[in-house]
Amino acid sequence: MLAAPIFGYLGDRYNRKIILGAGIFFWSGVTLGSSFISELYCWIFFLSRGLVGIGTASYSTVAPTIIADLFEEGKRTTMLSIFYIFIPVGSGLGYVLAAGMADVTGDWHWAFRVTPCLGGLALVLLILLVPHRTQRRTAAHRALSISGTIRVAAEKPGVQRTAKTTWCQDVISLAKNWSFVWSSLGLTAMAFVTGALGVWVPLFLYRAQVVQGIVSPCLQESCNSSNSLIFGGITIGTGILGVIAGAEAARRLRKINNKADPLICATSMFISALCLYIALMVAQDNILSTFIFIAFGELFLSVNWAVVTDILLYVVTPRRQSTAIALQILVSHLLGDAGSPYLIGILSNAIQAKNAHSFQWSFWSMQYSFIVCAFVGVFGGGFFLLTSFYIEEDRKEAEQL
């Protein structure tokens, strides 16, 4: 989260392929190293898991801008959707892989020894297949960059010269871009819900099954890995379908409505919030219905991943895109998934502390605290609706610049 603005600054000014490669190598190395840390040095383990975020920040900040440079608007949404499909796929595979490796080897450390192999493959593909410099950006820099300043037809009289902006100037400009501001807050709501679901849903499902008498209670509540496997599978499936559906809906509806993208995001957030609320309410009586409505909730959340980034890429000028994505990452994590699991845990503990210690109240406490996610989802839909009021004007301004 804190590293994202740094990579945003670097991505707008230096070779992005090198930045990506360094990020992949760093997070893969840190992940592998963390698997060999003993319990005596748990603080080093926690630190190493945090350092993974530095590598992730480099990738998630810079990669979408490369896609934007390689593809024109018609294909850009499709390519971004393919890119963002792997956010839920990777998240879901994390649950499946960790649970599977723990069962097969009897040691959870092996989950951290398999994922660096995927990082190594990604690094090789990056070196072999991604252009050293994308054509659109290179051409733009050749035409516009002279001795550290950006100039357009500098030798012609009457043509305004635009100095190369500083990072602070870029941030101030982005803060005045209301489409960027409101869509970033909508993404923050998405991250809040996604983070809370990712941490607490398996435990919530386990407690619901205990209340219904489906499973027997155990001292270690995480002892049943089936919920993690099922939730991981749901996350993968709904992630793929949701991102594809969102990209296709955006492609079709843009032809008839210039505000289609934020309206799609708003609608999907409202429906997702409703589905999650229903899932919470039926959990005590019907676990199958809970799984179904959680799946629909995640499906409509996933609709927005590629669309939100596409909004950013056409309302922000190319020379500020990495910085804009970095700020969006910073805000969405800071106000979203960095704190939402902790908040849900605090609320659940507070509710349980005021009532009798029982399996029923352990379930109810988590159920009531989870309702916060449904309300945040509604707020996210409202933020995307506000985006639709400004998006046409901001897009025209970005195209002119």
Percent of the chain with pLDDT over 90: 34
- Total number of domains constituting the chain: 1
Closest Cα to residue 302, out of 233, 227, 237, 250?
237
Q: Are 240 and 305 in contact (CB under 8 A)?
A: no
Q: Are 24 and 126 in contact (CB under 8 A)?
A: yes
| Per-residue model confidence (pLDDT) at position 216 | 64
Which DSSP letter does residue 14 get?
S
Q: Which residue has the higher pLDDT, 261 or 149?
A: 261
Q: What is the mean pLDDT of the chain?
A: 84
> Which CATH number goes with the domain that contains 283?
1.20.1250.20
| Per-residue model confidence (pLDDT) at position 389 | 95
| Residue-number span of the structural domain to which 170 is assigned | 4-133+165-400
| Per-residue model confidence (pLDDT) at position 167 | 82
Instruction: Give tens-digit pLDDT for 192-204.
Output: 999 999 888 888 9
φ/ψ of residue 213, rounded to 5? 80, 15
Closest Cα to residue 143, out of 318, 322, 321, 397?
318
Q: Tell me the HSE value of 66 on the side-chain side, using a 13 A CA sphere.
A: 22
Has residue 358 got a pLDDT over 90? no
| Per-residue model confidence (pLDDT) at position 218 | 62
| Per-residue model confidence (pLDDT) at position 236 | 83
**Mean pLDDT to the nearest integer, 369-386:** 95
Q: Which residue has the higher pLDDT, 86 or 138?
A: 86
Has residue 159 got a pLDDT over 60? no
The percent helix, strand, coil of the chain (3-state, each to 5) is 80, 0, 15
**pLDDT band at residue 341, thresholds of 50, 70 and 90?**
very high
Instruction: Give tens-digit pLDDT for 222-269.
Output: 555 577 778 878 888 888 899 889 988 988 898 899 999 999 999 999
Distance CA 377, CA 275 (A): 10
**Mean pLDDT to the nearest integer, 72-96:** 78
Has residue 370 got a pLDDT over 70? yes
Q: Does residue 68 sit within a domain?
A: yes
* Strongest mean pLDDT among 39-43, 183-187, 233-237, 324-328: 183-187
Q: Does residue 320 sit within a domain?
A: yes
| Per-residue model confidence (pLDDT) at position 220 | 53
Q: Does residue 21 sit within a domain?
A: yes
Which DSSP helix (H) or strand (E) runs through 209?
Answer: helix 178-212
Q: Which residues of 274-298 are buried (b: 16+ CB within 10 A; e: fewer)?
A: bbbbbbbebbbeebeebbbbbbbbb
Q: Does residue 142 sit within a domain?
A: no
Query: Rounded to an integer, what is the distance from CA 169 to the centroid of its chain?
Result: 26
Q: Does residue 138 sit within a domain?
A: no
Question: Which pTM was predicted?
Answer: 0.77
**Mean pLDDT to the nearest integer, 102-114:** 83
**pLDDT band at residue 156, thresholds of 50, 70 and 90?**
very low
Has residue 340 got a pLDDT over 70? yes
Q: Does residue 275 sit within a domain?
A: yes
Q: Which residue has the higher pLDDT, 232 or 325?
A: 325
SS3 category, 316: coil
Lowest mean pLDDT among 2-6, 175-179, 271-275, 387-391: 2-6
**Mean pLDDT to the nearest integer, 289-314:** 90
The residues, ordered by sequence, that sit 6+ positions from 256 with a Cβ below 8 Å of its Cβ are: none
The residues, ordered by sequence, that sit 6+ positions from 58 with a Cβ below 8 Å of its Cβ are: 3, 7, 19, 20, 22, 23, 26
Q: Are 12 and 320 in contact (CB under 8 A)?
A: yes
**Mean pLDDT to the nearest integer, 56-61:** 85
Has residue 165 got a pLDDT over 50? yes
Has residue 212 got a pLDDT over 70? yes
Q: Does residue 73 sit within a domain?
A: yes
| Per-residue model confidence (pLDDT) at position 9 | 87
Has residue 158 got a pLDDT over 70? no
| Per-residue model confidence (pLDDT) at position 359 | 82
| Per-residue model confidence (pLDDT) at position 221 | 53
| Per-residue model confidence (pLDDT) at position 394 | 92
Query: Rounded to an integer, what is the distance from CA 26 to the centroid of its chain?
Result: 20
Has residue 137 got a pLDDT over 70? no
Q: Does residue 144 sit within a domain?
A: no
Counting beta carbons within 10 angstroms of the beta carbon of residue 354, is it exposed (0 to 12), middle (13 to 18) or buried (19 or more)? exposed
| Per-residue model confidence (pLDDT) at position 98 | 77
> Could you tell me the two tokens for 290?
């809970």
